[in-house]
Structure formats: structure tokens, C-alpha cells
A = this chain, B = another copy of it.
Amino acid sequence: MDSFANESFKRLDPEKQDRILKAAIAEFAERGYELANTNRIAKNANISVGSVFHYFNTKENLFLYIVQYGSAMIEEQAGKVVDDETLSVAQKIECLLRLAVKSSREEMTLIRLYHEMSSIGNQDLMSKLPRSMELFTAERYVKMLEEGQKKGEVRPELDARLAAFSMDNIFLSLQFAYACDYYRIRFQLYNHPEIDKEEYDEKVISETFQILKGALLVPDMSERD
């Protein structure tokens, strides 16, 4: 599973583990995989290069470790929302949207990492990443929609798998729009220039929620904008 770090790393003082991961995340998120410098990571983590390679063996492993670590953190939160049985599908979607925006703001570097991982230069890196976490999330989204269809909340004519895929695409695009420079600029191309920064997150969430409701849910007679 996560055999990217060795046992001695896991036995480390959590504060030290954190220092190392933070330094690595910062470096990879700021410069991308190829331009990230292991010596600099070590220096910023206040450990020796030797130790970095003792713990992770290769730069590649270090990268895969933090990507996995980061996506686990984010997907875990999404899982909680999806599994919450007290929420309607509409409420879950709204929570997920809110989570996407929030995580982009708070864990920006992790989102950037996720994007970096998908970058073309690292094709073979990618093939080494266990997709179990993503598969798990994908299946949960699909199940959420299927059960929503049974309950009459989700449009029955949709293919749950492809619908879940589109929904996830919206979430992911939103995260990139907040966390990655390129997508941020692209986002601004679509923004009302006059909009006030503070309240804009809320606006983005509510508008995207409208889009997703229309896309996925059966029209709610009791609801009016």
C-alpha cells in the first residue's frame, strides 16, 4: 500500500515527520516535480539529504508519498459528507462544493500537488500511484447518485457513473481554479470584474450548486430561487 516511506520514517517524532512533509509539499507544490530540489527540501526540513533518502529512497517515492498523504486527507473529508445519512443528495452536493472551495483555500498546496501529479512529464510516476483512494471516492459518488435515483432525488434518466464523473469534474475544476495559477487566471476570464472578493466564494458555491442541481436532481416543486 503506502510503502513509499520506510519504517524508520513512520517511527519518527510526529513533529519531525510533519516538518519533512511540509517542506516536501511546499517544494513540490511551488516548483513542480522536475524542478523540485531534494537538497532544498532537506535544508528546509532541517534534516540532511541522507535522511531524506533514507526515509524515502528516491525523490519519486517522496513525491508519491506526499501526494497520497494529501489526497487521503482531502478525500477523507469528502467521504464523511457522502456517508452522512442525515443529508439529502442536494445537501451532500452543497457540502461537497463547500468542501472543495474550503480545501482549495486551506490546503492549496495539496491541490497543486494533485494537479502536478497529473502533469505529462510524470507519466510513469502516475502509473505507480495506487488509485485505491480515488476509486473509493468514485464509487461513493456513483452510489450516492444511484441511491438518490431510488429515492427520487436524482434524475432517473441519468447514467449514474457518467453523472458522477461530471460532478467530480466540476469539483476538481473548481479546486484547480482556486489553487493553481493557470486555472486561477482562466477562472478570472469568466469572473464579473466588479464582484467583491469577500462574498464571491459564496456566490461561486451557490451558482455552481444551481448548475449541479439542474444537472443531477429532479426539479423540486417546493423550491424557488
Q: Which residue numbers of A lie inside 8 Å of B, CB to CB?
A: 29-35, 112, 115-123, 126-127, 131, 134-135, 138, 142, 155, 157-159, 161-166, 168-170, 172-174, 176-177, 180-183, 185-187, 189-192, 203-204, 207-208, 210-212, 214-216, 219, 225
Which B residues are in CB contact (< 8 Å) with A174? Answer: 169
CB neighbours of A208 from chain B (8 A): 162, 166
Partner of A165, one of B123, B187, B216: B187
Top 9 nearest A-B pairs (CB, nearest first) are A32-B121, A169-B173, A34-B34, A118-B182, A215-B215, A119-B119, A165-B190, A162-B207, A157-B225
A203 to B177, CA, bound (A): 28
Contact, CB under 8 Å: B216 / A211: yes
Q: Which residue of B lies closest to A139 (CB)?
A: B189
Number of copies of this chain that the complex holds: 4
A189 with B135: CB separation less than 8 A: yes
Query: How far, in angstroms, from A135 to B191 measured CA to CA in the complex?
Result: 11
Among residues of B, the one whose C-beta sits closest to the C-beta of A183 is: B118
Contact at B204–A162, with CB atoms within 8 Å?
A: yes
Q: Which residue of B lies closest to A212 (CB)?
A: B215
Q: Which residues of the other chain, B, contact A159 by a CB distance below 8 angstroms?
A: 192, 203, 207
Expressed in whole angstroms, the Cα–Cα distance for A219 and B220 within the complex equals 13
- 18 A-B residue pairs with CB within 8 Å: A31-B120, A32-B121, A34-B34, A35-B121, A116-B119, A119-B121, A121-B121, A126-B185, A134-B189, A138-B190, A155-B214, A162-B203, A162-B204, A162-B207, A162-B211, A166-B170, A166-B208, A169-B169
